[in-house]
Amino acid sequence: MSKLWLIAKDEFRRNVYKKSFILALLSVPLMMAFNVGIGLIVENLQKDSTPIGYVDHSGLLDQPISVSEPSDAVPILAFESEETARESLQAEEIQAYYVLSADYLTTSNVELFYLEEPAYNATSQWNNFLQFNLLAEYPPQTAQRLIEGTRMTIRSPGGNIEMPAGGPTLGSMLPLFTSVSFVFLLLFSSGYLMNGVIEEKENRTIEVIVTSVSITDLVVGKVLGIVVISLTQLATWILIAVLTIAIGGDMLGLTWFQDLTVNWLAIIKVIVIAIPSYVFAAGLMFTLGSTLTEAQEGQAVGSLFFILHMLPLYMIVMIIENPLGIQTTLLGILPFTALLSTGLRSIFTDIPYWQIALSAAVQTLSAFGALWLASRAFRLGMLRYGQRLHIRELFRRKPSLAERSSS
């Protein structure tokens, strides 16, 4: 057992100190930061703090009530006549102005004048301002509630899944993000699992290693070391995600990062399936690494594993429409598809415990089978330098002593 931990420690240290590991570690956070940054830039480009104006012929806004707006709110200016408002618009002192007709209270007739279409934050603020004054006879809190409109919340029958009608929140998406993180870990670690075996076969260090350690300890130690590397990446991503949520919600005021409610039970269900699923895929990649002769082939096969795990995305419509159906239940139990299917289903329903237990059992048995297969592949292929080990050879029955003697 001590040799197993030494192999895992060496595998961890040998890969973590590489520049490629640092790049893989930072690639996902940088990609997320880039996407968020692009979104903020686009959102800011769509905003305009230039004032907007209005001309009221109806008398509704003779003594307007101001609406509480953020510090960067667009100023709303009153003009006595359309001529003065037009002059201010042509001088680019305002981005647009509204004209309320004399019979506005009965016809709701409003005209908008602009040189360039006003920004959405200006029109949105004007609508709130106008509605608030139309509801001036009501208490301010009641008026604000009427302006906000209907709030619809969608809940699962068990009450564990909850989201607004406008779409899922960040909290409800966390189980999916967890499963996707494990899938990306598979993509990044596939090179470690395959190339490590291929390189040691090419430089013939396998001959030295197997003289002092069993094949089982060697295989399990290498897989364990890669799993710890992947968990290190995952822990780093979680830390960066927590900092992103804190900065985005508190400092940048992004509403999607505020009032975060985490469904820990759904996340735990995903992790229960994710860990054996990852070990299963890692064992298979190690097996294929033992059968290959070149590192470039290992990179191509690693991409294939990533595609297999992403298959539920092509069936997302079926999962959304019937997350507890027979087909989606099978996707959540079968190897390869279970991980991402569970993350997707967790957004829309509360997955029964028996399905999680069955899926975890299937993934665990598959993981033990993959580790056994990896040991067998490594044992058969460790001395075949430059020769390819065919997959069918792994399942051939080892001949008995009597069969060898007769042959």
Same domain for 181 and 125: no
Does residue 4 belong to any structural domain of this protein?
no
E strands present in 226-335: none
Highest mean pLDDT among 354-358, 372-376, 392-396: 354-358
Q: Among the three residues 117, 149, 181, which one is the final residue of a domain in this structure?
A: 149
- pLDDT band, very low/low/confident/very high, at 403 (cuts 50, 70, 90): very low
Q: Are residues 174 and 267 in the same domain?
A: yes
CATH code (residue 63): 3.40.190
Choose among 57, 100, 97: nearest CA to 74: 97
Last residue of a domain, one of 102, 121, 149: 149
Report the relative pairing of strands 97-100 and 52-56 from DSSP bridges. parallel
Note whether residue 404 is domain-resident: no
Instruction: Average the pLDDT over 199-210 and give the result.
Output: 60
373 pLDDT higher than 50 = yes
177 shares its domain with 228: yes
pLDDT at 402: 42
Region of poorest pLDDT, from 186-190, 269-273, 315-319, 323-327: 186-190
What Cα–Cα distance (Å) separates residue 273 from each residue in 301, 325, 353? 23, 19, 12
User: Is residue 239 predicted with pLDDT exceeding 90?
Assistant: no
* Number of CB atoms found within 10 A of residue 143's CB: 19
Whether residue 238 is found in the same domain as residue 332: yes
369 in the same domain as 263? yes
Sign of CA dihedral 88, 91, 97, 102: positive
Select the more confidently predicted residue: 79 or 231: 79
What values do phi and psi take at 167, rounded to 5? Answer: 140, 170
Higher pLDDT, 50 or 72: 50
67 with 183, same domain? no
| DSSP calls for 149-160 | ----EEE-TTS-
Query: Same domain for 191 and 238?
Result: yes
Residue 30 lies in a domain: no
Phi, psi angles (nearest 5°) of residue 103: -100, 30
Are both 233 and 116 inside the same structural domain? no
* pLDDT tens column, 262-286: 778 888 888 899 888 888 887 787 7
DSSP 97: E
Which residue in 282, 181, 276 sits closest to 226, CA to CA? 282
Q: What are phi and psi of 259, to 5 degrees?
A: 50, 50
Q: Tell me how far apart the alpha carbons of residues 230 and 188 are, in angstroms, rounded to a whole number.
A: 8
| pLDDT surpassing 80 at residue 323 | yes
| pLDDT for residue 207 is more than 50 | yes
The DSSP result for 173-185, as a single string, is HHHHHHHHHHHHH
Beta pairing, strands 97-100 & 153-155: unpaired
Residue 99 within any structural domain of the chain: yes
Whether 43 is in a domain gets the answer: no
Q: What is the pLDDT of residue 70?
A: 60
Same structural domain for residues 186 and 313? Answer: yes
- pLDDT the model gives residue 195: 62
Once rounded to an integer, what is the mean pLDDT over residues 194-212? 61
| The pair of three-digit structure tokens given for residue 40, joined into one six-digit string | 């903020």
pLDDT at 260: 64
Residue 74 in any domain: the answer is yes
402 domain residue, yes or no? no
Domain boundary among 92, 114, 149: 149
Between 198 and 372, name the one with better pLDDT. 372
Confidence of residue 357 (pLDDT cuts 50, 70, 90): very high
The tens digit of pLDDT for each residue in 146-156 reads: 666 666 666 65
pLDDT of 21 = 73
Rounded to the nearest integer, the mean pLDDT of the chain is: 76
Confidence of residue 405 (pLDDT cuts 50, 70, 90): very low
Alpha carbon distance 15, 197 (integer Å):
13
Residues 234 and 356 in one domain: yes
**Whole-structure pTM value:** 0.60
Q: How far apart are CA 6 and CA 383, in angstroms?
A: 23
Residue 92 maps to a domain: yes
Domain encompassing residue 65: 52-149
Of 153, 181, 361, 162, give the one whose Cα is nearest residue 266: 162
Regarding predicted confidence, which is higher, 404 or 273? 273
- Does one domain contain both 173 and 145? no
* Pair (276, 180) in one structural domain: yes
d(CA 87, CA 114): 12
pLDDT tens figures, 328-350: 999 999 988 998 999 888 888 88
Number of domains, the chain: 2
What per-residue confidence (pLDDT) applies to 141? 75
For residue 187, how many C-alpha atoms fall within 13 Å in the half-sphere facing its CB? 17
What's the pLDDT band for 240 if we cut at 50, 70, 90?
Answer: confident
